[in-house]
Structure 1
Amino acid sequence: MGQARLRGTTEQRKAAAIDRQLALRPKFITCNNCQAQLTDMSPMDIAGLDGIQAAFTAHCPACGHDTYAIKGEREAVARLHMAIEDNVGAEAKAGVVPAANRPDPAA
């Protein structure tokens, strides 16, 4: 029997992957354009993106700018960042989610 089958059905494995990503969701993303704190964010589909643990996007209602939060290996994050730039056709600013913004593992 294959290892994947031991971890559950396809639906169970997908649900577990989504749960793992949502557990890494920051409390907010700071807009790279106007610095507003954005709490309404959507998880990005990271299936097949090796080295990416979680990715979220938020649209700023104040300035209309899209901002992304990406967690993963440095090289994989850089590749996804470049892919986003290619997709939107503009240079994207990189930022960092401060440790205080990360979810409390005890919560």
Structure 2
Amino acid sequence: MGQARLRGTPEQRKQAAIERQLALRPKYIKCNNCQAELSDMTPLDIADIKGIEAAFAAHCPHCGHDTYAIKGEREAVAQMHMAIEDAAGAQAQPGVVPAANRR
């Protein structure tokens, strides 16, 4: 019997992965454009992305800019950052979530 089966049904494993990601959600992220505090974030599907622990997107209602929060291994985060730039067709500004802002 495989190890995955011992961890529960596919639905239970998926829910556990979602809960692990949501536990890493910061209280807010600052808009990279206007610096507004954005607390309404959408978790991104990271199921097939090796090296990424959590990723969230927020749309700023003030300036219309999208900002992302990504946690994971440095190289994986850089690759995801480049993929977001390619999808958006524009250069993205990296930022850091201060430790005091983490849950």
Q: Do they fold alike, i.e. is TM over 0.5?
A: yes
Aligned residues: 103
- AA aligned to 1:34 is C
Which ranges in structure 1 are unaligned for 5 or more consecutive residues?
A: none
Partner of 1:87: 87
Partner of 1:71: 71
**Matches of 2:47 and 2:6, distance apart in 1:** 20
Shift of 1:40: 0.4
Correspondence 1:39 to 2:60: no
TM-score by length of 2: 1.00
Partner of 1:12: 12
Alpha-carbon RMSD across the aligned residues, in angstroms, is 0.3
- AA aligned to 2:85 is E
User: Which runs of at least 4 in structure 1 moved beyond 6 Å after TM superposition?
Assistant: none
Q: What SS does the corresponding residue of 2:45 show, helix, strand or coil? A: coil
**Matches of 1:87 and 1:18, distance apart in 2:** 24
Shift of 1:39: 0.4
**Matches of 2:39 and 2:85, distance apart in 1:** 22
**Matches of 1:99 and 1:21, distance apart in 2:** 17
Partner of 1:52: 52
Which ranges in structure 2 are unaligned for 5 or more consecutive residues?
A: none
Identity of aligned residues (%): 78
Partner of 1:96: 96
Q: What SS does the corresponding residue of 1:57 show, helix, strand or coil? A: strand
Shift of 1:34: 0.2
Partner of 2:27: 27
